[in-house]
A and B are shown apart, each in its own frame.
Chain A
Amino acid sequence: MITTDICIIGAGPVGLFAVFEAGLLKMRCHLIDALPQVGGQLSEIYPQKPIYDIPGYPEIKAQELVDNLMEQIEPFHPTFTLGERVEALERQDDGSFVITTNDSTSVHCQVVVIAGGLGCFEPRKPEIQNLEQFEGKGVAYMVKNPEQLRDRRVVLAGGGDSALDWTIFLANIAKEVTLVHRSDSFRGAPDSAEKVFELAKEGRVNLVLQSTITSITGSGHLQEVTITAKDKTVTTLAADNLIPLFGLTPKLGPIADWGLRIDKAAISVDTTDYSTNVERIYAIGDINTYPGKLKLILSGFHEAALMCQSAFKYVYPNQKLSFKYTTVNGIPTF
């Protein structure tokens, strides 16, 4: 088991800067992120985007900021668990926590800091009535085991690479494959798009273009999918499986079940120290909310500093915290 003082969930810019602020107070950090690399949105969504509101930088590219933050926290030797999602949080008798990820990594810590930005990424679900009722009963958002689709009537929805790739793959396995797409062309890999059109021409795949799925029905298990075309014509298809493939969208994920006060998909915090309603759990950055909240990296940095001042009492219960400027102390490492 990994043992640390503070476990930070989220390795975006605010989570990274929290390591620096914690380090100044001699608190060690371990960071967990569902993404395979540090940097959060900045590295994942817009690494080349210039940012203009970081003090001291008239302009800095998102990835450059992440790289600089990594350099800034290097003296404090943070440890990382990347590419794993936090699943469970268990309170210990002494008030500390054990956090467990989906890959069974366990972290024992005195304080938990949620710096999850937009949250975990979960499948985008189409707005179809009863959709969730059929999850696991014919509706899935990814193909885990293609063999389970052998000789089945499968309907895929979407126009990206996943939809194209699985259409091609399942054409050799499923009894019937239908791909429903809102447009009449695909912008996935040209080779894949061409292959799908060829399969359609050969009659091995049904292509239903300029159409969307509008309803599903079944008794205990999915049986029919109703499709509405651009010209409003409605078709009903017999189907055993529906796999909407529309990528991922951020959600709070398991954090939503930890007893934290949630307001509009964000965690409510006390602005004196960014603590949540659960003792020893803090939330900083875009994932928190309070009156006047500004979703800026800048604000997250401020929140990280105040959080650390407050978290100190749990890590060093017998020590008095005395605030010192870095200009006075420099960067005292471990």
Chain B
Amino acid sequence: MIQFTLEDRNGERQPVEIPEGINLSLMEVLKASDYNVLATCGGMALCATCHVQVLEGLDALPPARDAELDMLDTLPDAEFDSRLSCQIRVDEALEGGIFKIKGPEQ
């Protein structure tokens, strides 16, 4: 199992466990776990509404590609540790990470 923590907009943290080998993005996990995220474009790094801040574990993640960075640049509240959750695959790189939901509510 891969274990990480999600922090909602109110600052409340919830541990999440995902079986290994599941081909999901972090955005899909957020949606499936009933977190209120817009994810307008459905995971194509085109809308930036699935914005998360990686409070812990940023270095373990694969670097953002240009499409993701392009979208992050359009966000006035993007931090240095911001990512688009649709571009993060759920695998062992997420183990122990803490992700804060920042995108707009649905």
Contact = CB atoms under 8 A, between A and B. Distances in A.
A41 B42 CA distance: 12
Contact of B40 (A41, A126, A230, A264): A41
A187 B69 contact: yes
Contact of A126 (B41, B66, B70, B77): B77
A230 B73 CA distance: 15
A71 to B, nearest CB: 25
A316 interface: no
Given A45-B47, A46-B44, A210-B80, A124 B75 contact: yes
Given A182-B80, A210-B80, A244-B76, A187 B70 contact: yes
Contact of A127 (B42, B66, B77): B77
Interface in B62-84: 66, 69-70, 72-80
B17 interface: no
B53 to A, nearest CB: 12
Contacts of A230: 80
The SS class assigned to the B binding surface is: loop
Contacts, number: 53
A46 B73 contact: no
A138 interface: no
A109 B40 CA distance: 32
B18 interface: no
B46 interface: yes
Given A45-B40, A46-B41, A183-B69, A247 B74 contact: yes
The SS class assigned to the A binding surface is: loop
Nearest to A118: B40
Contacts of B78: 182
A264 B70 contact: no
A95 to B, nearest CB: 35
Nearest to A162: B74
Interface residues of A, number: 26
Given A46-B41, A187-B69, A264 B105 contact: yes
Contacts of B76: 124-127, 157, 244, 246
Contacts of A247: 74
B17 to A, nearest CB: 28
A175 interface: no
A49 interface: yes
Nearest to B67: A187
A295 B49 CA distance: 15
A49 B41 contact: yes
Contact of B73 (A41, A118, A127, A159): A159
6 contacts: A49-B42, A182-B79, A183-B73, A187-B69, A187-B70, A264-B105
Interface of B: 40-42, 44, 46-47, 66, 69-70, 72-80, 105-106
